[in-house]
Amino acid sequence: MHTDNPIPDYVKRRWYILVFLAPATLIYTVFAIYPIVESLRLSLYVSDEGQSQFVGLANYLRLLGEPYWAEQFWNAFKNNVVLFIMHMLIQNPIALALAALLSIPTLKGAAIYRTVFFLPTLLSVVVIGFIWQLILSPLWGVTPDAMEAIGLGLWFKPWLGLESSALVTVTLISIWQYVGIPLILFYAALLNIPEETIEAARIDGLNGWWIFWKVKLPMILPTLGLVSILTYIGNFTASFDLIYSIQGGLAGPNFSTDVMGTFLFRTFFGFQAQLGDQFMGATVASALFFIILVGVGCYLFGVQRKLQRYDS
């Protein structure tokens, strides 16, 4: 052994580890870590006559302290939370139920159902936004006439235009679009459960209903956790495009569908008479980053480590 060699032997022996790590490290650093760090850095500056000037946490104090900013921030945050809860209570149970039905081996036409359920996910958000706007339009939509035909005409409301119902409507559209993703994840997890386990349960006298609750569900708990955290992240990041395409950048009516994404967009790029502010924009983006970080952190340390994995 050469003691004067600066590179330790074990590194030399396992050089290929570095080679294999390099591509992912490089790509993530350039396209994810660097932009995040850079936007965190931007959030500590303000524009002063064309120059950026370091102000520490002043932007965050402004975001949470000044009524104009705080109001928008908490409103967007609240809407995001509503969005998340609705997805958890509606989208994921529906996806789980559909996946459970699809995974019944004797079901005919499972492939067709699977495709149909997943199809909306593949469509562009702009298309989805446009279609649903048309469907629900009080002027040209099919909904008013369809409801009229079954005697519910009086119940029709311009849901997307009412403060009380706009957010719920947009959320339901989002659920309609994205239900396919948790569905496929649950479905794959259910298919992974070994046949013997289920047979054993059946021999022990459990019917299909109890097999689902007592055998299948515990075995797909890790997937349930994964879907929850994906829903959480998705609601804070992916809700922007749908809301922007349906309700526009002002997330009307009266900001009732404003989420962190649309708030960030307006702040960073500006909107009509409102000028963009990259530093405040970066502050909103960083706040969003911390919200997601806290949520994911809680999940990782609070939930995932306690989940028991059943090896199959």
Tokens of 116: 């149909």
CB of 239: closest distance to another protein in angstroms?
A: 19
Q: Does 162 bind another protein (CB under 8 A)?
A: yes
Q: Contact with another protein (CB under 8 A): which of 76, 96, 102, 136? A: 136
d(CA 181, CA 121): 7
Residue with tokens 């349930």: 224
Q: Does 154 bind another protein (CB under 8 A)?
A: no
Quick one: which segment of 53-61, 91-99, 158-166, 202-210 binds another protein (CB under 8 A)? Answer: 158-166
The nearer residue to another protein, 194 or 276, going by C-beta atoms, is: 276
Q: Does 207 bind another protein (CB under 8 A)?
A: no
Q: Contact with another protein (CB under 8 A): which of 46, 88, 113, 159? A: 159
Kindly tell me the burial class for residue 291, based on how many C-beta atoms sit within 10 Å of its own C-beta (0-12, 13-18, 19 or more).
middle
Query: Using an 8 Å Cβ cutoff, are 167 and 79 in contact?
Result: yes
CB of 236: closest distance to another protein in angstroms?
A: 21
Q: Contact with another protein (CB under 8 A): which of 48, 145, 148, 163? A: 163
The nearer residue to another protein, 24 or 273, going by C-beta atoms, is: 273
CB of 272: closest distance to another protein in angstroms?
A: 6
Quick one: which segment of 31-39, 96-104, 122-130, 161-169 binds another protein (CB under 8 A)? Answer: 161-169
Which residues neighbour 241 within 8 Å (Cβ) at sequence distance 6 or greater?
Answer: 125, 126, 261
Residues 11-50 touching another protein, rule: CB under 8 A, are 50
d(CA 285, CA 289): 6
The nearer residue to another protein, 121 or 165, going by C-beta atoms, is: 165
Cis peptide before 253 (omega within 30 of 0): yes
Eight-state DSSP code of residue 69: H
Residues 216-275 touching another protein, rule: CB under 8 A, are 247-250, 252-255, 265, 269-275
Cα four-point dihedral sign 174, 179, 181, 185: positive
Q: Does 68 bind another protein (CB under 8 A)?
A: yes
Q: Does 132 bind another protein (CB under 8 A)?
A: no
The set of long-range contacts for 164-172, using a CB threshold of 8 Å and a minimum separation of 24, is 164/256, 166/247, 166/252, 166/253, 166/256, 166/257, 167/79, 167/82, 167/83, 167/256, 167/257, 168/86, 169/136, 170/242, 170/243, 170/246, 170/247, 170/257, 171/82, 171/83, 171/86, 171/87, 172/86, 172/90
Q: Contact with another protein (CB under 8 A): which of 46, 52, 113, 157? A: 157
Q: Which residues sit at the interface with another protein, rule CB under 8 A?
A: 50, 68-69, 136-140, 144, 156-163, 247-250, 252-255, 265, 269-276, 278
